[in-house]
C-alpha cells in the first residue's frame, strides 16, 4: 500500500518543475491553506453573510455552467468569472474571500477541462490570497476615508466605488504576480509583456474590474441585486472567449510561419493545394499549416541525425530542463540537423529508427500548435540546438531517447 502511494506520488508532474518553482507552488498552496484555516477559526458565521456568499457562489457556478462549451481561456485573458470574488472581498469577512474560488475551480475542473492538479491548486491559492489581500486593504482604508458599512450616496458613494475599484486592482496585481512568476518558471521564453499588452487581455482586465465594482455596489444594497449582473457576465464571457480563440488562432498561424517556411523550403512537395473560400478561416488555415509542418518533418526523416538528438538530450538534461522541455529541444535539434544534412547534400540515413525520438502528435489542434511554437522558438533561439546541430556532416549515431 505504502509502496503504491510512493510510486503514485513520484509520478506527479510537479516533480518535473525546477526546484525553486516546486517550492513556490508548495509555499503558496500551504500559505493559502493556513490562511483559510485560521480565518475559519476566527470568523463568526452570520446568516446574512452566508446568504450573500451563497448567491455569489451560485452566480459563479452558473457562469461556468452556461459557458463551459466555450472552453477555458489560456494566457493572460481573464474569463470574468472573478467578478463574483470582489463583492465577497469587500462585503464579507476575509474567510469568504479565501474560499470564493474553490467551488468555481472545482466545477471548472469537472465540467470544462481537467488540468494538472498542482496547477489548479496553485491557481486557486493565488486567487484566494489575492482576494484576502483586497479584503484586508478595504477594511484598512475604509475608516480612513470616513466610509461606513454601506455605500452611502453622492460623494460617499463615489469614494466607496473608487476604493472598491482600487482594491480590485490590488487583487489583480497580487494574483497576476503569483501566476506570472509560475508561468515564467514553467514556460520559459514566454513573452509576458507582449501577452499582457494584447487588446483582449487589457479589455478583459478592465471589464472584470468594472463589473466587479458594479456587482459589489449592487450586492451592498441587496444580496439578490447582484443577479442582475449575471446575464451581462455570461454574454461578456462568451464574447471574450470567441475573440481570444480567434486572435490566438491567427497568432499561432503567424508565429509558426518561420518554422513552416524553413521546412517547406527543403520539402516543397508537401505544400497542400489552396482551397477556395478558406482565406479568412483561421482554424482551417492553422490546421493546414500544422499538417504541412508535420508532413515536411516526415519527408526529412531520412536525414535526421541521431547524434544531434543524443547530444541535445544530454545537454538539456545537464541544464536541468524538464521532460517536456527536453523533448522540445530534441525535436528542434533533429529538425535543424536534418535541414543541414539535406542542404549539404548528405545521403539519407535510410534507417527506419532514424526518427524514433520524435514525440507523437498532440490530441488536438491547440496543443499541437502550442508544441510546434515551442519547437520553433528552440530552432531559432536555443544555444543547445545550435551546438548539437553545428556540424551535420559528422558521422551519425543513433540512440534511444
- pLDDT tens per residue, the chain (401 residues)? 556 666 666 667 777 777 888 888 999 999 999 999 999 999 888 888 999 999 999 988 888 887 666 555 555 556 677 788 999 999 999 999 999 999 988 888 887 777 778 888 999 999 999 999 999 999 888 887 776 656 777 788 888 999 999 999 999 999 988 888 887 766 555 565 666 666 767 877 888 888 889 889 888 888 888 888 788 888 877 777 777 778 788 888 999 999 999 999 888 888 888 888 888 888 899 999 999 999 998 888 888 777 878 888 888 888 878 778 888 888 888 888 888 888 776 666 554 444 445 555 556 788 888 889 989 998 888 888 888 766 544 444 444 44
* pLDDT reported for residue 9: 60
- Measured CA to CA in angstroms, residue 263 lies from 279, 304, 353 at distances of 22, 13, 21
| All cell numbers assigned to 64 | 461556468
Rounded Cα–Cα distance for residues 329 and 312 (Å): 7
Return the axis-axis angle of helices 365-381 and 230-255, rounded to nearest 10°: 40
SS3 assignment, position 194: helix
Rounded Cα–Cα distance for residues 301 and 304 (Å): 5
Rounded Cα–Cα distance for residues 86 and 209 (Å): 9
Element at 326 (helix H, strand E):
helix 323-343
* pLDDT reported for residue 398: 44
b/e per residue, 40-73, with b = 16+ CB within 10 A?
A: eeeeeeeeebeebbebbbebbbbbbebbeebeeb
Asked if 279 and 395 count as a contact pair (C-beta separation under 8 A), the reply is no
- Measured CA to CA in angstroms, residue 206 lies from 134, 168, 209, 340 at distances of 17, 10, 5, 48
- Measured CA to CA in angstroms, residue 368 lies from 28, 291, 361, 363 at distances of 31, 10, 6, 7
Element at 96 (helix H, strand E):
helix 94-99
Asked if 270 and 264 count as a contact pair (C-beta separation under 8 A), the reply is yes
Burial group, residue 146, by CB count within 10 angstroms (0-12, 13-18, 19+): exposed
What is the number of other CB atoms lying within 10 angstroms of the CB of residue 287?
16
Measured CA angle at 317 (ends 115, 190), to 5 deg: 50
Taking Cα atoms as reference points, which of 123, 48, 52 lies closest to residue 82?
123
Taking Cα atoms as reference points, which of 239, 216, 240, 238 lies closest to residue 228?
216
* pLDDT reported for residue 102: 92
Torsion angle, alpha carbons of 233, 175, 145, 54, to 10: 50
| All cell numbers assigned to 395 | 558521422
Place of cell 509583456: 193
| All cell numbers assigned to 237 | 464571457
| All cell numbers assigned to 377 | 522558438
Asked if 250 and 289 count as a contact pair (C-beta separation under 8 A), the reply is no
Taking Cα atoms as reference points, which of 96, 67, 89 lies closest to residue 80?
67
- DSSP H helical segments within 142-269, as ranges? 155-186, 192-196, 199-221, 230-255, 257-266
Place of cell 454601506: 150
Cα dihedral sign, 252-253-254-260: positive
Question: What region does 45 belong to: left with phi over 0, alpha with psi -120 to 50, or beta?
Answer: beta
Place of cell 529508427: 353
* pLDDT reported for residue 347: 61
Give every CB contact of residue 337 below 8 A, 6+ residues apart in sequence: 303, 304, 305, 307, 308, 309, 388, 389, 392
Rounded Cα–Cα distance for residues 286 and 153 (Å): 53
Amino acid at each position: 500500500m505504502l509502496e503504491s502511494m510512493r510510486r503514485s506520488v513520484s509520478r506527479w508532474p510537479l516533480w518535473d518543475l525546477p526546484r525553486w518553482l516546486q517550492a513556490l507552488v508548495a509555499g503558496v498552496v500551504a500559505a493559502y491553506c493556513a490562511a483559510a484555516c485560521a480565518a475559519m477559526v476566527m470568523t463568526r458565521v452570520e446568516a446574512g453573510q452566508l446568504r450573500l456568499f451563497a448567491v455569489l457562489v451560485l452566480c459563479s457556478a452558473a457562469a461556468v455552467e452556461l459557458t463551459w462549451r466555450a472552453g477555458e481561456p489560456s494566457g493572460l485573458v481573464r474569463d470574468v468569472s472573478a467578478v463574483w470574488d470582489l463583492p465577497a472581498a469587500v462585503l464579507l469577512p476575509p474567510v469568504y474571500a479565501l474560499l470564493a474560488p474553490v467551488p468555481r475551480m472545482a466545477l471548472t475542473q469537472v465540467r470544462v477541462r481537467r488540468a494538472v492538479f498542482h496547477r489548479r491548486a496553485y491557481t486557486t491559492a493565488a486567487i484566494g490570497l489575492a482576494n484576502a489581500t483586497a479584503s484586508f486593504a478595504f477594511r484598512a482604508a475604509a475608516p480612513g476615508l470616513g466610509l461606513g458599512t454601506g455605500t452611502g450616496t453622492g460623494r460617499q458613494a463615489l469614494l466607496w466605488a473608487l476604493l472598491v475599484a482600487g482594491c480590485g486592482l490590488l487583487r489583480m496585481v497580487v494574483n497576476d504576480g503569483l501566476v506570472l512568476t509560475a508561468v515564467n518558471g514553467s514556460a520559459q521564453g514566454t513573452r509576458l509583456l507582449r501577452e499582457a499588452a494584447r487588446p483582449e487581455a487589457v479589455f478583459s482586465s478592465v471589464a472584470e474590474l468594472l463589473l466587479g465594482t458594479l456587482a459589489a455596489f449592487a450586492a451592498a444594497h441587496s444580496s439578490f441585486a447582484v443577479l442582475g449582473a449575471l446575464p451581462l457576465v455570461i454574454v461578456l464571457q462568451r464574447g471574450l472567449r470567441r475573440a481570444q480563440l480567434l486572435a490566438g488562432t491567427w497568432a499561432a498561424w503567424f508565429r509558426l510561419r518561420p518554422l513552416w517556411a524553413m521546412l517547406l523550403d527543403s520539402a516543397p512537395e508537401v505544400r497542400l493545394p489552396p482551397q477556395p473560400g478558406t482565406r479568412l478561416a483561421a482554424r482551417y488555415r492553422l490546421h493546414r499549416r500544422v499538417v504541412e509542418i508535420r508532413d515536411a518533418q516526415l519527408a526529412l526523416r531520412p536525414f535526421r541525425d541521431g547524434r544531434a538528438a543524443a547530444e541535445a538530450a544530454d545537454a538539456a538534461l545537464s541544464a536541468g530542463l524538464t521532460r517536456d522541455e527536453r523533448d522540445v529541444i530534441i525535436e528542434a535539434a533533429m529538425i535543424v540537423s536534418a535541414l543541414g544534412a539535406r542542404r549539404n547534400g548528405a545521403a539519407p540515413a535510410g534507417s527506419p529508427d532514424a526518427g524514433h525520438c520524435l514525440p507523437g502528435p498532440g490530441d488536438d489542434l491547440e496543443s499541437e500548435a502550442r508544441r510546434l511554437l515551442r519547437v520553433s522558438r528552440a530552432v531559432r533561439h536555443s544555444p543547445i540546438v545550435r551546438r548539437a546541430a553545428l556540424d551535420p556532416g559528422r558521422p551519425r549515431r543513433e540512440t534511444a531517447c
